[in-house]
Every structure is written in structure tokens, then in C-alpha cells.
């Protein structure tokens, strides 16, 4: 038995050995790991080949798509071209005017912004190309993708594919290397150009600082010591032409670089033209013409080309606050020319001549201001022009008024005209010529701006008046507003806009607009800390502005939904209004946007909400109760705008449904403000929820010997002739009480609505008295 067990154990061990030898390769004496590697090479190689092909395809696609190197090179060349005249100006000897320096600063800031944008793109492209070059290098050095004399037999099966990958890698590497070299060259060019721009900006800042100091010091001889000719020896006309040629490059650059802002202003002007023209066309329709008659406006025409151009030139400063002073001077000249065309057939001959003198003197003023001439004749001419505008300002201060603006504002502008020209004369006499020119032009352009803005306001008011007339005939949105009140508000808004535009142009001419914008920007954006809360004044400003706009919208939202002003009559108001829901949506969106604009972090907001919750618990229960009640009233709809409701001792017509409270208009004409919490919790009676019918009660007395049948006939006759009685609902005539000498009669009748109840009773009694007298019935 033991021998048998030993033999069986030997056989079992031998069998196990044979199985391991066959499966693992021990029978041939080859390690198992080596056999596994050989057999897995085809799978790993195939995966690596596919990966390499995919990578090469991606690299080739990126190189084929290109990196806009020609376009980038052109953009760099444009930046270089834009600053070349500046470099030449700084290299030349002589002082530069502050106007030119400010324009140079504008050009350099814009060039710096463009160059930074180009550099960002080039850096990104360089990083991508370096990554692809590294990828090509790694694939080229991959030993698994190389064929050598000792390669495994399985690799030889993929020889053609490996050779193809090798060739494609070489091509991709060449193209990628070339693109990387070009990108690096452009990066070097942008770096070099950036240094030039930085140096020019530093020189501009330095010269601006020097110019500011020199402007307050004596630059030229006193007027009585001034030479008869300019120290340059050139005629004044040549100096003016040379100056404008120097400014032409700045003006051209500004116009080309700010076309998008100007395009927006042009779109607004085109919209204005289309708006006015369409209204004039609508006014020619027979149905509308019969109602409004012939239209006659002083400032707009059916084809308002002139008005559109005046609007465009007046709103330009809003879109181009960085405009050079020469641009503003030319805009003011165009406004003068347009207003000359407008006033050509309006002014009398003497007034027209005076206006043309103003136009001519303004042209002389800006031409003389442009010339770098310290000669006596030009300086004396400038003094005479200043004296004329001082005289003009004094005359205007006494006589002129503008319907568009308050007298205080007009006088302030005229005082500025007189003061700046007087100061200009003093500075010119004592040798501060550049500052004298600057102040003189600023004062005169301020006057031109005042006149053009007055025309602008009248143009807009005429356009609004036309719109109101057309809308009133077609039941549009303007037919639902108070015309005189809306015109007053629009006029006020336009006056505020005009003041803003005037101030902007005034600061642009004084060359301090950039400093003011920078100062305001620093104030609004500077981070501030209050305890653990971080904020800025800009966040607060946005918060307040959004809340203000949301509040105004929710107040005027009835106009958008066609809500009429509720009056105590049967036909006023519209039921089923969605105004309250729209108000709720506007308030919620406004609050959310305001919170987002405030920049308050969510953890801080949670603290604020927690404090708000404590406030609710301490003393704001009623406010929150009314607010939540208002939301419930919006969705439950127990009443609508225009419904006649009764609550306790108050009854009237629902005029407005607010978020916190609602308003009732009583028959006596008073308005009752009721908190929404009272409306929801109180016992409310709605007389017009499902229908307008109402059963009215009429009580009167007759003599005790009256024939009741005859009386019923009289009452039926009176009710049958009444207009407001519902015919399909029979009235009830009841004997209410009896006394020794009289009987009390109660009549219950259905009438069309509650608003005619008083009139119905009045008519009923009038007719009853006449009919009872005819029937010899004594009504007591």
C-alpha cells in the first residue's frame, strides 16, 4: 500500500512539472518573462505607431493651420509706423506743445495695448511650438520606433510604417522648427518695440510735467516786447500749415483707432433718423392726419438729415472721451456750420451777419492757436478776438435765454466764456502764450457747445412730441402716459445729459480729461476694508445704480403691460393684470444683480442675511409679513386691478397691487393704502371677481291705503325702462314693514355693475315719483 502511494505521488509530481514546462517554457530552458516580452512586442509597437501617427497628424494640422505670422508681422509694423513720427518729434530740437504731448500719450498708450495683445498671442504660439518640437524629439528618440540589425523579427513586419513615421517626423520637425524660429523673431521684435514705446512714454510724461511747469512761467516776451515777426523767420501762414500737418498724423491715427466707438454713435444717429422719418410717414396716413392735422416743427423735418448730424456731433464726446483737442475743435466747427445752415432762414439779416462774424472769428482763433508764432501781429490778433468774445459774452449775459436750460446754467457758461477770454488776454500780454491760447479756445468752444446742445435738446423734444402724437392716435405706449409730465421728465434728463457733455468737452479742451478719468477710476476701484468686509466705491455705485433702475422699472411697469390709469368709472382699468408679478420679477432680479455687482463674498452675504434675520425677529415682522402676503396675493389672485372690493369700513376700486401694500380708489376720490397682510388676513369682499352684477336694494314708504297691485305695476314699469337693469334676472318687490299710516316697500333689483348704483337709484326715484303721481299713489 505504501509503495502504491509513493508511485502515485511521483506520477502526480511529474504531471505537474510537464504542465508547467509546456505553459511557461521551462522545458526549453527559456525564462518565462522573456517569452512574455517577445510575445507582447507586436501589441506595444502597434500602440506606439498609432500614437506617433496621431501626434504627427496633430502637429501637421497645427502647422498647416498656421499662426498668422504675416498678419502678426503686419500688426507689429503698423505699431512701429504709428510711433515713428513721435520718435522723430522727440529727436528734433525744440519744445513740443502740451496738446501734441497729450496726443502722443494717447497714441503711445494705444500702441502699448496693441503690442501687449500681440505679445500674448506670440507667447502662446511659442509655447505650443516648443511643446510640439519636444514631442517630435521624443518620438524620434523612441527606440521602439527604430530599426536596427538586431531587431526582433516581429518589428520587421512594421518596417514600412516605421519608415513612414520617420520621414513624417523629419518633415514635421522642420516645419515646426521654422515656425518656432519665426515666432521667436517676432517676439524679439515686439520686445525691442516695447522698449522703444516705454522710453517714449517716459519722455512724454517728463515733457508733460515740464510743459505744465512752463505754462505757468514766462515762455515768450511781453506783448510790448514781442518781435514783429516770429523768431523762426517763417510767415504765420506757413507756421499754421506746418502745425496742422504735424497734427494731421495724430488726427488720422485717432480716427483709425477709434472707429468702433464712432460706429456706435453713427448707429444711434441712424436709429434717430429712422425713428423720426417713420413717424412723419405715419402722420401722413388719413386716419392719423384727421386727428392731429398738419404737423409743423422747427427743428425736425420728414427727412431729418440736418437734425441727425447735429445729434451725432453732440453725442460724440460720450463715445470718444480721449479725443485730441484738434478733433474737438473741428467737431465744434462742423456744429457751427450745421447751425448756420439751420439758422440761415430763421435769423434776421443783422443777426445772421453777427452769427457769420462769430463763425469767422472762431476759424481765425483755432488757426491762430495752432500756429507756433510768438510774433506781435498774431498775438495782437488773438487779443482782439478775445476782446470780441468778452463783448459778446456781456451782451449774451444780459439778453439771451435758452428754453432748454435753466438761466443759472446759461449764465455759468457765459461767465466761463468771459472769464477765460479775459484771463487769456492777461496771459498773452505777460508772455504765457500757450496757456492763453488753450483757455481762449476752451471758452469759445464752451459757448458753441451751449448753443448746439440747446438745439440738440429741442430736436429731441420735437421728436418726442411727434412720437406722442402718433402714439396717441394708435393707442401705443405713449398714449398711456401723462404727456406734459413725460415731456418735463425727458427735458430734465436731456438737460442733465447736456451738462455732462458740456463738462466733458470743457475738460477735453483743458487737456485734463485723462487725469480726471484716472482719478475717478482710482477712487472707484481702490480696495477698501471695513472690519472683515472688502469692498470698493465702484461696487457700491453699481449696487445703488442697479437698485435705483430696478425701482424705477417696477414703478413704471404698468405702461409696458398696457395698464391705464385707474379712475372711478366703469370702463377704466384692465382686469387680470400681470403688473404685480412683473414687479416681483424685476425686484428679485434687481436684488440679485445688485448683490452680484456689490462683490460681496457669499460667506459675508450669509453673515448679512443672518443679521437681517435677527432684524426680522426684532422688529421687521410686519414688513416681511406684508411682503410675503403680497407674493401670495400675486399667485392666489383674490382680486385684480380694477376690481371693486370692500374691507372693513373701506371700499373702493383696486388701483395698484404692490409688493408691500395695495391702493384703493374710493368713490370720494381719496386713495387708501392698505398693507397686503390686512388684505390677506381680513375678510375681503370682492364685488367684481367673477362678474360685475350686483343686487341693489331700494327702500321707500307709501301711504297705508295704497293699492299694492297698482304699486307693483308702477315699479315694474320704472324698472323696465331703466338701462342698467339686468333683464334676465327678475326684480323682487317686497312689503318690508307696516305701520299705522304707511307701508315700507323694499325693491331688490340686479344692475349691470356697482359703479352705476348711485346713478341707478337716482333715476329710479325720479321716474317713480312721476309715475306714482300719475297713478295717484302717495310716496312718503
Residue 243 lies in a domain: yes
E strand spans, 112-222: none
pLDDT digits (tens, 9 = 90+) for 136-158: 777 777 666 665 554 555 556 66
pLDDT average, residue stretch 13-41:
41
- Report in angstroms the alpha-carbon separations of 508 from 96, 322, 479: 18, 8, 41
Q: Which three cell numbers stand for residue 645?
A: 372690493
pLDDT average, residue stretch 666-695:
81
Identify which of 486-495, 508-517, 531-540 has the greatest average pLDDT. Answer: 486-495
User: Which of 487, 513, 539 is at the close of a domain?
Assistant: 513
Distance of CA 711 to the CA centre of its chain: 73
- Report in angstroms the alpha-carbon separations of 42 from 25, 39, 56, 158: 20, 7, 21, 9
Residue 520 lies in a domain: no
Domain hosting residue 588, numbered range: 526-686
User: Which of 215, 239, 267 is at the close of a domain?
Assistant: 215
Distance CA 425, CA 70 (A): 55
Length of the chain: 780
Q: Indicate if the pLDDT at residue 29 is higher than 60.
A: no
pLDDT higher for 95 or 426? 426
Residue 518 lies in a domain: no
pLDDT higher for 772 or 595? 772
Q: Are 355 and 343 in contact (CB under 8 A)?
A: yes
pLDDT average, residue stretch 367-373:
65
Residue 186's Cβ-count burial label (10 Å; 0-12, 13-18, 19+) is buried
Strands in 742-751's sheet, in edge-to-edge order, are 694-703, 742-751, 732-738
pLDDT digits (tens, 9 = 90+) for 702-735: 888 888 888 888 888 888 888 888 878 888 888 8
Confidence of residue 776 (pLDDT cuts 50, 70, 90): confident
Residue 364 lies in a domain: yes
pLDDT higher for 22 or 677? 677
User: Which segment of 6-15, 256-265, 562-571 scores lowest on mean pLDDT?
Assistant: 6-15
Is 409 found in the same domain as 262? Answer: yes
Confidence of residue 32 (pLDDT cuts 50, 70, 90): very low
Map grid coordinates 481765425 to a residue.
364
Distance CA 451, CA 575 (A): 49
Is 162 found in the same domain as 61? Answer: yes
Nearest to 675 by CA among 620, 615, 622: 622
- Report in angstroms the alpha-carbon separations of 436 from 94, 216, 383, 426: 20, 10, 10, 8
Please state whether beta strands 671-675 and 661-665 pair in parallel, antiparallel, or not at all (unpaired). antiparallel
Total structural domains in the chain?
5
Q: Which three cell numbers stand for residue 396?
A: 449774451
Is 172 found in the same domain as 82? Answer: yes
∠ CA 194-521-495, rounded to 5°: 125
Is 531 found in the same domain as 507? Answer: no
Share of residues in the chain with pLDDT > 90 (%):
3
Residue 779 lies in a domain: no
Residue 13: the pLDDT is: 47
pLDDT higher for 236 or 599? 599
Assign residue 68 a region (left: φ > 0; alpha: ψ between -120 and 50; beta: otherwise): left
Phi, psi of 656 (to 5 degrees): -155, 140
Question: What's the CA dihedral at 516, 518, 520, 522 to 10 degrees?
Answer: -150
pLDDT higher for 90 or 467? 467
User: Which segment of 59-68, 188-197, 473-482, 494-503 scores lowest on mean pLDDT?
Assistant: 473-482
Is 538 found in the same domain as 424? Answer: no
Q: Which three cell numbers stand for residue 493?
A: 434728463
Assign residue 66 a region (left: φ > 0; alpha: ψ between -120 and 50; beta: otherwise): left
Is 56 found in the same domain as 21? Answer: no
User: Which segment of 29-43, 347-361, 763-777 scores lowest on mean pLDDT?
Assistant: 29-43
Distance CA 176, CA 173 (A): 5
- Give pairs for 356-365: CB < 8 Å, separation 24+: 358/392, 361/385, 361/388, 361/389, 362/332, 362/333, 362/336, 362/444, 362/448, 363/333, 365/440, 365/441, 365/444
Identify which of 414-418, 608-612, 633-637 has the greatest average pLDDT. Answer: 414-418
Residue 549: the pLDDT is: 84
Is 391 found in the same domain as 265? Answer: yes
Residue 274: the pLDDT is: 93
pLDDT average, residue stretch 64-93:
77
pLDDT higher for 305 or 329? 305
Residue 194: the pLDDT is: 87
Residue 536 lies in a domain: yes
Is 40 found in the same domain as 15? Answer: no
Residue 780 lies in a domain: no
DSSP SS3 for 744 = strand
Residue 719: the pLDDT is: 86
pLDDT average, residue stretch 514-522:
74
Q: Which three cell numbers stand for residue 499?
A: 451738462
Distance CA 166, CA 704 (A): 128
Residue 556 lies in a domain: yes
Is 251 found in the same domain as 331? Answer: yes
pTM comes to 0.63
Distance of CA 246 to the CA centre of its chain: 37
Q: What is the CATH number of the domain that holds 729?
A: 3.30.70.100
Distance CA 53, CA 59 (A): 10
User: Which segment of 144-153, 651-660, 745-754 scores lowest on mean pLDDT?
Assistant: 144-153
Cβ neighbours, 10 Å, residue 723: 10
Q: Are 457 and 310 in contact (CB under 8 A)?
A: no
Please state whether beta strands 694-703 and 684-686 pair in parallel, antiparallel, or not at all (unpaired). unpaired
Distance CA 647, CA 613 (A): 31
∠ CA 624-630-633, rounded to 5°: 145
Is 9 found in the same domain as 99? Answer: no
User: Which of 652, 686, 720 is at the close of a domain?
Assistant: 686
Confidence of residue 269 (pLDDT cuts 50, 70, 90): very high
Is 232 found in the same domain as 344? Answer: yes
Map grid coordinates 522710453 to a residue.
199
Residue 645: the pLDDT is: 84
Is 619 found in the same domain as 676? Answer: yes
Amino acid at each position: 500500500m505504501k509503495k502504491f502511494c509513493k508511485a502515485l505521488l511521483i506520477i502526480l509530481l511529474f504531471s505537474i512539472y510537464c504542465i508547467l514546462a509546456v505553459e511557461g517554457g521551462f522545458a526549453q530552458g527559456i525564462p518565462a518573462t522573456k517569452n512574455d516580452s517577445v510575445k507582447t512586442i507586436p501589441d506595444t509597437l502597434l500602440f506606439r505607431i498609432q500614437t506617433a501617427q496621431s501626434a504627427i497628424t496633430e502637429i501637421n494640422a497645427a502647422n498647416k493651420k498656421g499662426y498668422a505670422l504675416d498678419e502678426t508681422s503686419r500688426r507689429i509694423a503698423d505699431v512701429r509706423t504709428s510711433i515713428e513720427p513721435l520718435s522723430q518729434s522727440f529727436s528734433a530740437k525744440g519744445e513740443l506743445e502740451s496738446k501734441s504731448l497729450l496726443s502722443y500719450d494717447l497714441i503711445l498708450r494705444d500702441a502699448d495695448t496693441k503690442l501687449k495683445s500681440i505679445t500674448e498671442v506670440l507667447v502662446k504660439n511659442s509655447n505650443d511650438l516648443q511643446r510640439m518640437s519636444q514631442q517630435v524629439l521624443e518620438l524620434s528618440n523612441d527606440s521602439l520606433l527604430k530599426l536596427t540589425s538586431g531587431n526582433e523579427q516581429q518589428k520587421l513586419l512594421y518596417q514600412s510604417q516605421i519608415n513612414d513615421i520617420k520621414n513624417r517626423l523629419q518633415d514635421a520637425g522642420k516645419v515646426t522648427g521654422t515656425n518656432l524660429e519665426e515666432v521667436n523673431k517676432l517676439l524679439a521684435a515686439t520686445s525691442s518695440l516695447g522698449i522703444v514705446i516705454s522710453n517714449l512714454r517716459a519722455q512724454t510724461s517728463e515733457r508733460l510735467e515740464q510743459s505744465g511747469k512752463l505754462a505757468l512761467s514766462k515762455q515768450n516776451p511781453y506783448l510790448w516786447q514781442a518781435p514783429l515777426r516770429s523768431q523762426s523767420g517763417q510767415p504765420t501762414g506757413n507756421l499754421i500749415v506746418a502745425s496742422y500737418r504735424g497734427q494731421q498724423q495724430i488726427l488720422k491715427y485717432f480716427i483709425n483707432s477709434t472707429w468702433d466707438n464712432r460706429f456706435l454713435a453713427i448707429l444711434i444717429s441712424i436709429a434717430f433718423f429712422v425713428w423720426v422719418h417713420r413717424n412723419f410717414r405715419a402722420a401722413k396716413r388719413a386716419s392719423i392726419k384727421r386727428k392731429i392735422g398738419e404737423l409743423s416743427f422747427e427743428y425736425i423735418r420728414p427727412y431729418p438729415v440736418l437734425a441727425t448730424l447735429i445729434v451725432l456731433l453732440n453725442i460724440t464726446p460720450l463715445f470718444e472721451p480721449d479725443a485730441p483737442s484738434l478733433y474737438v475743435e473741428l467737431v465744434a466747427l462742423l456744429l457751427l456750420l450745421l447751425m448756420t445752415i439751420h439758422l440761415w432762414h430763421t435769423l434776421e439779416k443783422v443777426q445772421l451777419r453777427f452769427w457769420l462774424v462769430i463763425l469767422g472769428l472762431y476759424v481765425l482763433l483755432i488757426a491762430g492757436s495752432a500756429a507756433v508764432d510768438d510774433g506781435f501781429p498774431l498775438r495782437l490778433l488773438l487779443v482782439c478776438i478775445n476782446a470780441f468774445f468778452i463783448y459778446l459774452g456781456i451782451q449774451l449775459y444780459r439778453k439771451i435765454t435758452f428754453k432748454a436750460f435753466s438761466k443759472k446754467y446759461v449764465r455759468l457758461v457765459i461767465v466761463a466764456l468771459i472769464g477765460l477770454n479775459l484771463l487769456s488776454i492777461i496771459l498773452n500780454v505777460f508772455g504765457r502764450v500757450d496757456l492763453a491760447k488753450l483757455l481762449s479756445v476752451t471758452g469759445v468752444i464752451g459757448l458753441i457747445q451751449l448753443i448746439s446742445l440747446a438745439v440738440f435738446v429741442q430736436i429731441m423734444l420735437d421728436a418726442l412730441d411727434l412720437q406722442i402724437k402718433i402714439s396717441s392716435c394708435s393707442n401705443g405706449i405713449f398714449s398711456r402716459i401723462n404727456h406734459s409730465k413725460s415731456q418735463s421728465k425727458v427735458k430734465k434728463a436731456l438737460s442733465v445729459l447736456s451738462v455732462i457733455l458740456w463738462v466733458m468737452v470743457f475738460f477735453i479742451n483743458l487737456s485734463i480729461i485723462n487725469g480726471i478719468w484716472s482719478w475717478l477710476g482710482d477712487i472707484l476701484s481702490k480696495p477698501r476694508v471695513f472690519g472683515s468686509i472688502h469692498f470698493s466705491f465702484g461696487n457700491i455705485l453699481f449696487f445703488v445704480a442697479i437698485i435705483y433702475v430696478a425701482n424705477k422699472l417696477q414703478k413704471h411697469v404698468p405702461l409696458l403691460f398696457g395698464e391705464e390709469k385707474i379712475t372711478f368709472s366703469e370702463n377704466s382699468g384692465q382686469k387680470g393684470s400681470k403688473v404685480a408679478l412683473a414687479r416681483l420679477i424685476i425686484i428679485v432680479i434687481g436684488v440679485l444683480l445688485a448683490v452680484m455687482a456689490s462683490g460681496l463674498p457669499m460667506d459675508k452675504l450669509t453673515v448679512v442675511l443672518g443679521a437681517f434675520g435677527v432684524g426680522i425677529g426684532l422688529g421687521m415682522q410686519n414688513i416681511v409679513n406684508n411682503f410675503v402676503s403680497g407674493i401670495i396675493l400675486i399667485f392666489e389672485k383674490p382680486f385684480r386691478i380694477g376690481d371693486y372690493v370692500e374691507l372693513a369700513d373701506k371700499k373702493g376700486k383696486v388701483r395698484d397691487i404692490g409688493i408691500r401694500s395695495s391702493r384703493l380708489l374710493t368713490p370720494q376720490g381719496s386713495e387708501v393704502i392698505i398693507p397686503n397682510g390686512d388684505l390677506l388676513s381680513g375678510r375681503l369682499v370682492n364685488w367684481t371677481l367673477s362678474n360685475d352684477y350686483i343686487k341693489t336694494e331700494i327702500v321707500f314708504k307709501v301711504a297705508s291705503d295704497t293699492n299694492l297691485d297698482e304699486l307693483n305695476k308702477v315699479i315694474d314699469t320704472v324698472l323696465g325702462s331703466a338701462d342698467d337693469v339686468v333683464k334676465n334676472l327678475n326684480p323682487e318687490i317686497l312689503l318690508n314693514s307696516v305701520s299705522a299710516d304707511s307701508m315700507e316697500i323694499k325693491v331688490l333689483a340686479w344692475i349691470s355693475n356697482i359703479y352705476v348704483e348711485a346713478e341707478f337709484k337716482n333715476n329710479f326715484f325720479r321716474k317713480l315719483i312721476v309715475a306714482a303721481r300719475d297713478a295717484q299713489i302717495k310716496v312718503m
